[in-house]
Amino acid sequence: MNKKHFITMSLLCLMSLTVAAESNLGANCFAIWANGGIANYIGKTPGAKAALGYGGSLGFGYEWRDQTLLVQTGVGIRYTQTGLNADNRVYTLYNQYDSEGHLMDYQYIETNRRDVYNQATIQVPIMVGAHVSGFYFLAGVKANIYAYNQSDIKGNYAAQGVYDILIDPLANMDNHLYYTNREITSSRKYGMKFNVALSAELGGEFRLGESAGGNVSYMRIGAFADFNVLDDRTTSNNAMLEYPPSFNNTDMISVLKQNDYLHSTAAENPLRQLYAGVKLTFLISSGVKYGCVMCEGGYPSARDRRRGSRLQR
């Protein structure tokens, strides 16, 4: 190695030691965050398709950080609204009798049905990650407790009679109990449910400033995604639709008020919720500890000297 290379390497080593001399050995941080985004169910549902929903969350917690590592936990509350749009259906009861005693087939027609799920979820995240050169990432799990869980059902319904002696069905005849385009709504609340979500976020980290006492504040803007590990359905042996014993508007309403997709046998396959969007986080550090490699005898580093304090060990 020639003299020029030796000097260059020496300068690089000196610069590295200078950085290490004032390195951040660790800090306790208070974190507060807010996020918003889209929510949707992932999984196949016979006779229905997932409808894109939305959500938002607020939370606060604790984060430990050093030069690279991040460890975060806390508690948050999240609200989501998701839904499933049902295909149009025709249910037929064969060999029935109308209000005048004539033999016919009774058809119950369901159109524009939508099952909407409103959920308030308590979240406890356990996340680990790193921050490097103005970027950060976190990954881990979130315990989700559905503290509020309500389904709202809305659809249009009609009834008609099919006769062998007639070419077209009889419809829109209330006196014969054949109804057309009746809008009916129903709501039902369910108990608490537990789930676990895999979670990840990635974005930029910006230093906002430093107080006289050495506390540093940061802001993060990133993208995140939470995906439930467990099935969001509730085990139930209830059928989605049971035929009414007689034919009147009261029976049609009672049919509608039966269980929705997440709480019946209609969803034959597992459904898992995906929630993803944009997250904003603010952090304030306290109790920052700085190392001193070049200072002998525990004397302050340059950073500590500016504060007029001795080295924290």
Strand 135-162, strand 103-132: pairing = antiparallel
Confidence of residue 125 (pLDDT cuts 50, 70, 90): very high
The amino acid at 21? A
Provide the 10 A C-beta neighbour count for residue 310. 13
Residue 148: is its pLDDT beyond 90?
yes
Residue 219 lies in a domain: yes
Among 29-33, 47-51, 60-64, whose mean pLDDT is lowest? 47-51
The 8-class DSSP code of residue 310 comes to: P
Give percent above pLDDT 70 in the chain: 74
Tokens 């950085």, residue located: 19
User: Which of the two residues, 247 and 146, has the higher pLDDT score?
Assistant: 146
Closest Cα partner for 115 from 270, 225, 267, 230? Answer: 267
Residue 42 lies in a domain: yes
Tokens 């005693």, residue located: 101
pLDDT recorded at residue 246: 54
pLDDT recorded at residue 289: 57
Residue 53 lies in a domain: yes
Q: For residues 217 and 30, give the distance between their C-alpha atoms in angstroms, rounded to a whole number.
A: 9
pLDDT, tens digit (0-9, with 9 covering 90-100), for 251-268:
555 655 566 888 776 667
Phi-psi region at 16: left, alpha or beta (left = phi > 0; alpha = psi -120 to 50): alpha
Q: Which domain holds residue 44?
A: 23-307
Provide the 10 A C-beta neighbour count for residue 188. 14
Counting beta carbons within 10 angstroms of the beta carbon of residue 47, is it exposed (0 to 12), middle (13 to 18) or buried (19 or more)? middle
Which phi and psi angles does 148 have, rounded to 5°?
-130, 130
Residue 261 lies in a domain: yes
pLDDT recorded at residue 2: 55
Counting beta carbons within 10 angstroms of the beta carbon of residue 24, is it exposed (0 to 12), middle (13 to 18) or buried (19 or more)? middle
Q: Across residues 130-157, what is the average pLDDT? A: 93
Structure tokens at 256: 């509608």
Which phi and psi angles does 251 have, rounded to 5°?
-65, -35
Residue 22: is its pLDDT beyond 50?
no
pLDDT, tens digit (0-9, with 9 covering 90-100), for 279-296:
999 999 876 655 554 444
Residue 210 lies in a domain: yes
Residue 222 lies in a domain: yes
Q: Across residues 4-11, what is the average pLDDT? A: 45
User: Which of the two residues, 297 and 280, has the higher pLDDT score?
Assistant: 280
Residue 264 lies in a domain: yes
**CA dihedral of residues 190, 81, 112, 99 (deg, nearest 10):** 20
pLDDT recorded at residue 307: 44
Helix (H, G, I), strand (E, B) or coil at 13: helix
User: Which of the two residues, 79 and 192, has the higher pLDDT score?
Assistant: 79
Give percent above pLDDT 90 in the chain: 40
Structural domain total, the chain: 1
pLDDT recorded at residue 234: 78
Angle at CA of residue 199, ends 235 and 76, nearest 5°: 80
pLDDT, tens digit (0-9, with 9 covering 90-100), for 157-190:
888 889 988 898 988 887 777 878 888 788 888 8
Highest mean pLDDT out of 18-27, 109-118, 220-229: 220-229
pLDDT recorded at residue 56: 98
Residue 189 lies in a domain: yes
